Amino acid sequence: MRIGEQTIEVGPVTITITDAGRRAGCSPGPEPGQLDDDAPAHARLPCRREVWRSGRDCIDVYMLHEPLLELVNTDEWLKWLEDLCARGRIRYFGLALTIDRLLPFLKTKSPLADFVQTVDSLRDREADVLPAHGKPLQITYGYVSAARAKGDMSSVADVLSRAVKRNAHGAIIVSTRQPGRMGQYRALLESGS
């Protein structure tokens, strides 16, 4: 595993997560010639090779990280992403951003916001902006760090158990510096909590 990349086996699915860099609010783009040399200029980033070093032909979920509405809410971006789907290079695309950057996409009903990863917490329930705009909670994160920041010293298992109940039909991103905790997380999910 390289710094900034994690590969996880979940049943028959392999999930590779990379965070190779951000510029103009966009995630790493494709290698020139591998996907589309006509990609919007902001998608062609120096670090884009990180996505393709795994040797995969297709990315399951391609997220634009922390984009600004005025930079990516154009027909050019949407057409490029839809074309990548049609060509089998990516399966799904969406946005990974904080609530303040998400709100403009939701208010304008941008099709880029059909699939969203955003921060949430059990106390402040930031991701409630999604159901308020007719969308389900999809990919959320930040439950444990938010609990700690607010003085909630409940066990990690308890916080995550409540998070799973809150986002029962979506996905929750959890990170740890302690590899031994991965077994605890798996047990939590397998127990149906």
**CA–CA gap between residue 168 and residue 153 (Å, rounded):** 23
Per-residue confidence in pLDDT tens, the chain, 193 aa = 233 444 444 444 444 444 333 333 333 444 333 444 455 555 544 234 545 555 666 778 888 888 888 888 778 888 888 988 898 878 888 999 999 999 999 999 999 999 999 999 999 999 999 999 999 999 999 999 999 999 999 988 899 989 989 998 888 888 877 777 777 777 777 776 5
Tell me if 144 sits within 8 A of 174, measured CB to CB: yes
Tell me if 90 sits within 8 A of 81, measured CB to CB: yes
**CA–CA gap between residue 122 and residue 125 (Å, rounded):** 6
Q: Residue ranges of the domains in the chain?
A: 5-119
